């Protein structure tokens, strides 16, 4: 059962475990994620609590790895300040982080999408260069980010059947099969696991921080390419792809990750609003168009 997480419960946790901060105001952040509930703790900190048991393992992973990743990255990432224990009716470990200023990326608050795409690519290149030998491998705990797309094959093909007559299932199937046709052949690299606009902070029109490393791990970087079709335009997607210097097969697997999520949203395999369904349709359109354009270019 998902616990009710509100400011009064957070106040209880802080008072019991970190009394030095008990005098600070606690308020929900303007935009909280699905995996966690986040609250301001004064002006300089946030409290982040997993919303369900299958997100709870992310806490200790972030506590351990974020301080080790941060020195190697060109943009700020969350800085853990304290690790909380279950109490006050809350059943899992939780974290306190330093507050990172900025707003989630939107097409309205980004001044130059090409520059944004380049900055993001440079961040991912730096992340991929960090020693990954002891990093956490892909698996159930991070929803297989960095792992093989084949784990979602049955779900994707079911969505394709459900959407027959509503979308171009022939091209979508071709995209999916192209994604399954290859695998990452190099050594595992670090992946963020959820490079979405909501996890990319913008200040003064520019990318200023990357947050929410709950799905991070080591493996195939293709999962981190999804932003190319969910947010970027044709021109900025090309900037992103060029700066990453990944091979065509990895790009095809990236399209597969974007396709899978768009299809399950459209097919109703997860609860979604009309707004989310509209975003999923736009992502699907971008994926299919990109696949067709690449095939045309190759003759």
Please answer whether residues 193 and 142 qualify as being in contact, where contact means their C-beta atoms are separated by less than 8 angstroms: yes
* Coil vs helix vs strand at 49: strand
Token pair listed for 3 = 């616990």
DSSP H or E stretch at residue 279: helix 274-297
Whole-angstrom Cα distance, residue 269 to residue 260?
11
Question: What's the rounded mean pLDDT across residues 9-36?
Answer: 91
Q: Read off φ and ψ for residue 4, nearest 5 degrees.
A: -75, 125
Q: What percent of the chain has pLDDT over 70?
A: 97
Query: Class assignment of domain 103-297?
Result: alpha beta
Q: Read off φ and ψ for residue 30, nearest 5 degrees.
A: -65, -40
Whole-angstrom Cα distance, residue 148 to residue 25?
44
Asked whether residue 28 carries a pLDDT value surpassing 60, the answer given is yes
The DSSP code for 136 is: P
255-294 as b/e: b if 16+ CB within 10 A: bbbbbbbbbbbbbeeeebeeeeeebbeebbebbbebbeee
Asked whether residue 255 carries a pLDDT value surpassing 90, the answer given is yes
pLDDT given for residue 272 in this prediction: 62
Neighbouring C-beta atoms of residue 109, cutoff 10 Å: 16
Please answer whether residues 36 and 55 qualify as being in contact, where contact means their C-beta atoms are separated by less than 8 angstroms: yes
Q: Collect all residues with Cβ–Cβ distance below 8 Å to 238 and sequence separation of at least 6.
A: none
State the pLDDT confidence band at 275, using cuts at 50, 70 and 90: confident
Q: Collect all residues with Cβ–Cβ distance below 8 Å to 47 and sequence separation of at least 6.
A: 10, 13, 14, 26, 38, 39, 40, 41, 84, 94, 95, 96
Q: Collect all residues with Cβ–Cβ distance below 8 Å to 265 and sequence separation of at least 6.
A: 272, 276, 277, 279, 280
Q: What is the pTM of this model?
A: 0.94
Question: What's the rounded mean pLDDT across residues 28-50?
Answer: 89
pLDDT given for residue 225 in this prediction: 98
For the purposes of burial, counting CB atoms within 10 Å of the CB of 26, is it exposed (0-12), middle (13-18) or buried (19 or more)?
Answer: buried
Task: Give me the residue spans of the domains in the chain.
Answer: 7-98, 103-297
- Say which CATH topology domain 7-98 has: Phosphorylase Kinase; domain 1 (3.30.200)
* Coil vs helix vs strand at 19: helix
Whole-angstrom Cα distance, residue 275 to residue 41?
31
pLDDT given for residue 270 in this prediction: 60
Neighbouring C-beta atoms of residue 248, cutoff 10 Å: 12
Average pLDDT, the chain: 95
Whole-angstrom Cα distance, residue 159 to residue 280?
13
């Amino acid at each position: 059962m998902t616990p009710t997480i509100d400011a009064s419960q957070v106040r209880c946790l802080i008072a019991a475990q970190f009394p030095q901060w008990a005098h600070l105001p606690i308020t929900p952040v303007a935009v909280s994620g699905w995996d966690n509930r986040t609250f301001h703790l004064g002006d300089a900190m946030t409290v982040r609590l997993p919303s369900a048991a299958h997100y709870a393992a992310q806490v200790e992973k972030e506590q351990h790895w974020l301080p080790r990743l941060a020195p190697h990255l060109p943009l700020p990432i969350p800085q853990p300040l304290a690790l909380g224990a279950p109490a006050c009716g809350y059943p899992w470990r939780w974290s306190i982080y330093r507050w990172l200023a900025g707003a989630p990326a939107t097409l309205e608050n980004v001044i130059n999408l090409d520059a944004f795409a380049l900055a993001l690519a440079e961040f991912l290149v730096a992340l991929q260069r960090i020693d990954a030998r002891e990093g956490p491998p892909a698996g159930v705990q991070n929803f297989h980010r960095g792992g093989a797309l084949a784990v979602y094959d049955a779900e994707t093909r079911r969505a394709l059947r459900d959407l027959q007559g509503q979308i171009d299932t022939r091209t979508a199937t071709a995209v999916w099969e192209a994604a399954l046709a290859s695998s990452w052949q190099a050594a595992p690299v670090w992946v963020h696991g959820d490079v979405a606009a909501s996890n990319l902070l913008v200040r003064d029109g520019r990318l200023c921080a990357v947050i929410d490393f709950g799905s991070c791990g080591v493996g195939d970087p293709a999962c981190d390419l999804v932003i190319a079709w969910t947010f970027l335009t044709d021109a900025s997607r090309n900037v992103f792809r060029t700066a990453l210097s990944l091979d065509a097969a990895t790009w095809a697997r990236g399209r597969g990750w974007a396709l899978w999520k768009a299809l399950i949203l459209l097919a109703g395999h997860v609860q979604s609003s009309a707004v989310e369904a509209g975003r999923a349709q736009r992502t699907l359109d971008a994926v299919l168009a990109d696949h067709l354009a690449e095939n045309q270019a190759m003759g």
